[in-house]
Chain A
Amino acid sequence: MPIPVKPDRSVTTTCAYCGVGCGFKAETVEGRVVRMIPWKEGKANHGHSCIKGRFAFDYYQHPDRITTPMIRKNVDDPWQEVDWDTAFAYAAGEFKRIQAEHGTTSVGAVSSSRCTNEEIFLMQKFARVALRNNNIDNCSRICHSPTQFGLSATLGAGAASQHFDSILQSDVVLVVGANPTEGHPVFGSMMKRAVRRGARLLVIDPRRTETVDSPHCRAEVHLALRPGTNVLVLNSVAHVIVRERLYNEAFVRARCDGDDFELWMDLVGDDRYSPDVVGPEAGLDPDDIRRLARIYAGGPNSTIYYGLGVTEHSQGSTGVMCLGNLTMATGMVGREGVGVNPLRGQGNVQGGSCLGSWPHMLTGYRFVTDDVVRGSFEDEWKITLDSEPGLRLPNMFDAAVTGSFKAIYIQGEDPIQSDPNRHHVEAALRSMECVVVQDLYLSETAKLAHVFFPGSSSLEKDGTFTNAERRVSMVRKVIEPLGGLADWQITVGFMNAMGYECHYDHPSEVLDEIARTSPAYSGMSFDKIEALGSVQWPCNTDAPEGTEVLHTVTFPRGKGSFMLTGYLPTSERATDQYPLLLTTGRILSQYNVGTQTRRTANVAWHDDDVLEISADDAAGRGLSSGDRATITSRYGSTELTVSISERVNPGVVYTTFHFAHTMVNNLTSDLDDWATNCPEYKVTAVDVVRASIAQPVAGS
């Protein structure tokens, strides 16, 4: 009889997949997770979910899961299973040996945005107190580091100004370089709800995404710009606002630095950025640029949501600044329904940014070079800290290639698959003497590791996540860690083995430590989050229950600062040899490099990365949908199946990067953002040719 089994236990927790941070109730039968039910009281999702959080949880018990620590002297040696203490002792011994031979700063660590705030905090603490340097970075280096930089520079806080629900108060929604219905589906549904209620939708994106046109949700203006021209087009939008005097003079006068505003008006008001000049350069109708600018400036409440299509460029930080400038110029910041909001990728990537997992910053975005800030941590940790910035992850790899960097502790990241220029990363890892990888599976990176710490999934530990709207929510242990230790316990174990003694009974003690050392978190505790369901930072004595909307009275940096965002074309250009521009994105059913989702039934929807190409470009190359094609860039090549698509304009091709075997990062350049080294994933000049067809073997 088809009567469903009834779960015997239900634990409320937070989804780890994307930056929306949906609340879920994990239901178990005899200690096995049987389903995830979206939590009605979850303030990020209000009882809604997407395919990943709702269904794709089985990865936690996939046969590929490694649950025993392993070590090996050489990457060509077979793995040797050991107990935790042996693994910690071995890794610590190697790190100490390397530091003795190559210097204190020859080792580093990178934290994971799939881990909790507490675990990320412990990782940066590990680097600072156990490695005694600032060589700590986090994965937002390759996604939203420009957000932190660009929004800090203009508004003073490198995070979303609004809460998600605020979009229901918006009259105009401008989406730039993001595809919420695929990348942030639960927020995407909220955005569609806003549009169905009458909000006008504007989209700037090279592709005609689902966000541009789906049932009852259609963009009024879509600027399908040529990849790499964000800053040019956003400056043109600003040009229209300045020339047509659509800016909010009262707001600017009251809230912003007036001199910088004048400089900015001179810059963007120049004929260089007239839509009539910019349009042909960016592949746009000048009138569309004007229409978008007028609708955005007209509001009355206009809001901006953006994603990696803004940040992953050599002018990524500049693009973010353009958006910050626009909000200030039009007064579209500091109240409900307006603002500028990054759509964060991984579940806790905002936490990764906030919790000091940076080579130049301690928690709460405060510089390690600041003696007062550093001093407060030195008092807490009873140790002297390095006062100089450490290495960013790409620079760690750069230094490894030249022989100056020798060991790394990687928590839940797979840079071989996710970072640009795969050959470079591989060479860097191969040149290291000790690579420690903490992960659920033997990832591409773990294949080059010497120590493997079996990590814990988000179902296996307590802690908190901070989502893209600065909301700190509880992650609760649903089942015991399969490897015996939660990630935070692994880091503490490694830290102790390195000789820095510290002890925590529960992650709540780590959050208490964060609260003691970080003003924006000073009012937070597990008890408070438990009582309120979730809390948005800043949470302190001024805002004991947290803050939904930022910048309501002043900006954290005082006066808002207009940054001068001159457009510089990327050096990655289409040429006769590489006539097409490749841009990348993601699809609903797969997550990031697919480590988890590829190990679920989600492959039923998407079992391979495919290359979207316009009919024109395909015809010129004799390609049809389903053909295999070789894609070649200046940096490498790979082979993908072709899909002729109306979503991309001629001259542009698109693919996702969810599958290891497609090696899309073979293609991508080593160009990166001027300010943060965030890689330029969104523009690579390529050529596409039909792959040579294997001849059928006669008689077979």
Chain B
Amino acid sequence: MTFIWNELRDLRDAVDLGTPPRDGQPVTLSIDGVDTTVPARSSVLLAATIAGATVPKLCATDTLECFGSCRVCLVEIDGRRGYPASCTTPVESGMVVRTTSEQLVKLRRGVVELYLSDYPDSDIDGGWSQFHTTLAQVGLEEGLPADHPYRGGDTHADVPVDESNPYFLFDPAKCIVCSRCVRACEEIQGTFALTIAGRGFSSQVSPSQGESFLASECVSCGACVQACPSDALIEKSLFPEGYHRADPR
């Protein structure tokens, strides 16, 4: 008999499988030429991670159901058009997957450049979040070049920091709108306090109906902070001198 909770128990501290582990019949597929066997219902991202491939990811994490919004875990699959997101693509027997190629490198870099075009320069150097790891994986650890055409555009740098919660703060300037916090609030905590308000470029994490974190339905379980890959939701205790944004250029 298969138990649902076995999946939760397969979570490992040292590795983020990208999508939740699954129970299921073994399925063998090829990842970068290596035959890899994972349970059915697993994602290609999970299989690639188990195969040892380093697929950059931002919105995907193994404690949350896949979402497919960040578009950096793209791969190539024989017989499939385009570049499917590995997190939302279930494995199939005999599938042939490539996790890297010239085009994939370029595409991922192109996507991450878009993230960087709306992330504060002052928070790149010395950062150690998952976002910073992803930057290094796509070769953008230095941030966006000084003369990049994306510079000078609209950003969220002026949106105020929400420091209402005594324990953590939300800095919209660093939010990459991956919805991990929203999903953690729904799937893990079950409180449904967070949502994404607005559309398009204006999309922003919002507690309840545009309230502050403290005033909202948020119960401060910390699941959103834990889920945030980009230091946008972060413990205040990691800023012993207080949280001060760099002066805008």
* A48 touching B221, Cβ below 8 Å: yes
* A54 touching B221, Cβ below 8 Å: yes
> What are 19 A-B interface contacts by the 8 Å CB criterion?
A1-B126, A2-B123, A3-B123, A3-B127, A4-B231, A4-B234, A35-B235, A38-B222, A40-B12, A46-B63, A48-B188, A48-B223, A54-B167, A169-B5, A185-B219, A189-B188, A189-B190, A193-B190, A589-B220
* A169 touching B221, Cβ below 8 Å: no
- Within the complex, the shortest CB–CB distance from A415 to chain B, in Å, comes to 30
Interface string of A601-623 (1 = CB under 8 A from B): 11011000000000000000000
Which residues on B sit within 8 Å (CB–CB) of A4? Answer: 128, 231, 234-235, 238-239
Which residues on A sit within 8 Å (CB–CB) of B245? Answer: 2
Known: A46-B11, A49-B221. A1 touches B167 (CB 8 A): no
Which residues on A sit within 8 Å (CB–CB) of B67? Answer: none
Which residues on B sit within 8 Å (CB–CB) of A85? Answer: none
Measured CB to CB, the nearest residue on chain A to B219 is A588
Residues of chain A touching chain B, judged by Cβ–Cβ distance below 8 Å, are 1-6, 25, 34-35, 37-41, 43, 46-51, 54-55, 165-166, 168-169, 185-186, 188-189, 192-193, 196-197, 214-217, 336, 588-589, 601-602, 604-605
* B243 touching A2, Cβ below 8 Å: yes
Measured CB to CB, the nearest residue on chain A to B122 is A1
Whether B78 is near chain A, meaning CB under 8 Å from some CB there, is no
- A1-B122, A41-B12, A49-B221 are known; give 12 further A-B pairs, CB within 8 A: A2-B245, A3-B126, A6-B128, A40-B63, A50-B222, A54-B167, A55-B222, A165-B3, A165-B8, A169-B3, A196-B190, A216-B190
Whether B4 is near chain A, meaning CB under 8 Å from some CB there, is yes
Measured CB to CB, the nearest residue on chain B to A53 is B222
Q: Which single member of A37, A588, A602, A605 contacts B226 (CB below 8 Å)? A: A37
- Within the complex, the shortest CB–CB distance from B9 to chain A, in Å, comes to 7
Known: A3-B127, A41-B12. A50 touches B192 (CB 8 A): no
Q: Which of B120-158 contact A (CB under 8 A)?
A: 122-123, 125-128
- Within the complex, the shortest CB–CB distance from A463 to chain B, in Å, comes to 21
* B166 touching A49, Cβ below 8 Å: no
Which residues on B sit within 8 Å (CB–CB) of A336? Answer: 1, 3
Which residues on A sit within 8 Å (CB–CB) of B239? Answer: 2, 4-5
A301 to B171, CA, bound (A): 45
Measured CB to CB, the nearest residue on chain B to A336 is B3
A620 to B133, CA, bound (A): 63
Measured CB to CB, the nearest residue on chain B to A3 is B126
User: Which of B8, B126, B239 has the most chain A CB atoms inside 10 A of its CB?
Assistant: B8
* A55 touching B220, Cβ below 8 Å: yes
* B9 touching A40, Cβ below 8 Å: no
Measured CB to CB, the nearest residue on chain A to B164 is A604
Measured CB to CB, the nearest residue on chain A to B244 is A2
Q: Which of B146-181 contact A (CB under 8 A)?
A: 165-168, 171
- Within the complex, the shortest CB–CB distance from B202 to chain A, in Å, comes to 23
Whether B189 is near chain A, meaning CB under 8 Å from some CB there, is yes
- Within the complex, the shortest CB–CB distance from A446 to chain B, in Å, comes to 27
A644 to B222, CA, bound (A): 30
Q: Which single member of A6, A165, A214 contacts B5 (CB below 8 Å)? A: A165
A336 to B11, CA, bound (A): 21
A48 to B187, CA, bound (A): 11
* B240 touching A5, Cβ below 8 Å: yes
Whether B13 is near chain A, meaning CB under 8 Å from some CB there, is yes
Which residues on A sit within 8 Å (CB–CB) of B127? Answer: 3
Which residues on B sit within 8 Å (CB–CB) of A47? Answer: 11, 63, 188, 226
Which residues on A sit within 8 Å (CB–CB) of B12? Answer: 40-41
User: Which of A34, A39, A54, A165 has the most chain B CB atoms inside 10 A of its CB?
Assistant: A54
Which residues on B sit within 8 Å (CB–CB) of A189? Answer: 188-190, 221
Which residues on A sit within 8 Å (CB–CB) of B222? Answer: 38, 49-51, 54-55
Q: Which single member of B167, B171, B192, B243 contacts A55 (CB below 8 Å)? A: B167
* A168 touching B4, Cβ below 8 Å: yes
* B63 touching A5, Cβ below 8 Å: no
Q: Which single member of B5, B223, B235, B238 contacts A168 (CB below 8 Å)? A: B5
Which residues on B sit within 8 Å (CB–CB) of A605? Answer: 220
A192 to B13, CA, bound (A): 24
Known: A47-B226, A604-B166. A5 touches B238 (CB 8 A): yes
Q: Which of B181-218 contact A (CB under 8 A)?
A: 187-192, 214
* B219 touching A38, Cβ below 8 Å: no
A48 to B224, CA, bound (A): 10
- Within the complex, the shortest CB–CB distance from A100 to chain B, in Å, comes to 52
- Within the complex, the shortest CB–CB distance from A685 to chain B, in Å, comes to 33
Whether B54 is near chain A, meaning CB under 8 Å from some CB there, is no
Known: A35-B238, A46-B11, A47-B226. A601 touches B63 (CB 8 A): no
User: Nearest 6 pairs between A and B by C-beta?
Assistant: A601-B166, A192-B190, A165-B5, A4-B238, A54-B222, A51-B220
A51 to B221, CA, bound (A): 4
* A41 touching B13, Cβ below 8 Å: yes
* B123 touching A1, Cβ below 8 Å: yes
Interface string of B32-52 (1 = CB under 8 A from A): 000000000000000000000
Which residues on B sit within 8 Å (CB–CB) of A34? Answer: 235, 237-238
* A2 touching B171, Cβ below 8 Å: yes
A176 to B239, CA, bound (A): 43
A355 to B231, CA, bound (A): 44
A216 to B166, CA, bound (A): 28
* A40 touching B234, Cβ below 8 Å: no
Which residues on A sit within 8 Å (CB–CB) of B190? Answer: 188-189, 192-193, 196, 214-217
Which residues on A sit within 8 Å (CB–CB) of B4? Answer: 168-169, 197
* A39 touching B240, Cβ below 8 Å: no
Interface string of B7-42 (1 = CB under 8 A from A): 011011100000000000000000000000000000
A196 to B244, CA, bound (A): 40
Measured CB to CB, the nearest residue on chain A to B221 is A50
Which residues on A sit within 8 Å (CB–CB) of B214? Answer: 604
A71 to B130, CA, bound (A): 52
Q: Which single member of A25, A185, A197 contacts B221 (CB below 8 Å)? A: A185
